[in-house]
Amino acid sequence: MSLKDQILYEDNHLIVVNKLPGELVQGDETGDETLADRVKNYLKTTYNKPGNVYLGIPHRLDRPTSGIVVYAKTEKALVRLNDAFRGSDVKKTYWAVVDSCPRENEGTLIHYIVRDSRNNTSRAYPKEVKGSKLAKLSYTVLGKSDRYYLLEIDLHTGRHHQIRAQLAAIGCHIKGDLKYGAARSNPDGGIHLHARRIRFTHPVKKEPLEIVAAPPSDSVWNYFVKNI
Which amino acids are annotated catalytic?
62
For residues 195 and 66, what is the distance between their CA atoms, to the nearest angstrom?
A: 6
Q: What is the length of the chain? A: 228
- Strands 14-19 and 7-10 turn out to be antiparallel
Nearest residue to 130 via CA among 120, 119, 118, 115: 115
For residues 109 and 35, what is the distance between their CA atoms, to the nearest angstrom?
A: 31
Nearest residue to 191 via CA among 102, 63, 93: 63
For residues 174 and 200, what is the distance between their CA atoms, to the nearest angstrom?
A: 27
Integer-rounded Cα radius of gyration of the chain: 18
Strand partners, 94: 153, 195
Write the CB contacts of 214 (distance below 8 Å, at least 6 apart in sequence): 18, 225
Write the CB contacts of 8 (distance below 8 Å, at least 6 apart in sequence): 16, 17, 18, 68, 211, 212, 213
